[in-house]
Amino acid sequence: MNNIAPVGPKPGTLICPSCRASVVTRIEHKATTRTHIVAFLLCLFLCWPCICVPYCVDSCQNADHYCPSCNAYLGTYQA
């Protein structure tokens, strides 16, 4: 896990190391290799319309945290 600050799956309050502001982090969810594998397995064993589920569920994706003030990267929570 490549974290600058300890982060979790939800927005958190911390002091940004770049701008020194006390902020609630902004999160961007990103699909990972594991997300793609789960989608592939759903396609194989269930039905093809189910492949969108891992891309719509935040818990199947990494949460990248950013400072809303200066947009600095603060860390990643790996799902």
Please give the chain's pLDDT, 79 residues, in tens. Answer: 455 668 899 999 999 999 999 999 999 999 999 999 988 888 888 777 778 888 999 889 999 999 999 999 999 999 7
Give the tokens for residue 12: 């958190």
pTM reported for the whole predicted model: 0.81
Residue 68 lies in a domain: yes
Residue 53 lies in a domain: yes
Name the domain count of the chain.
1
Query: What is the Cα–Cα distance from 12 to 27, expressed in whole angstroms?
Result: 9
Residue 1 lies in a domain: no
Q: Determine how β-strand 73-77 pairs with β-strand 22-24.
A: unpaired
Amino acid at 19: C
Domain that holds residue 31: 13-77
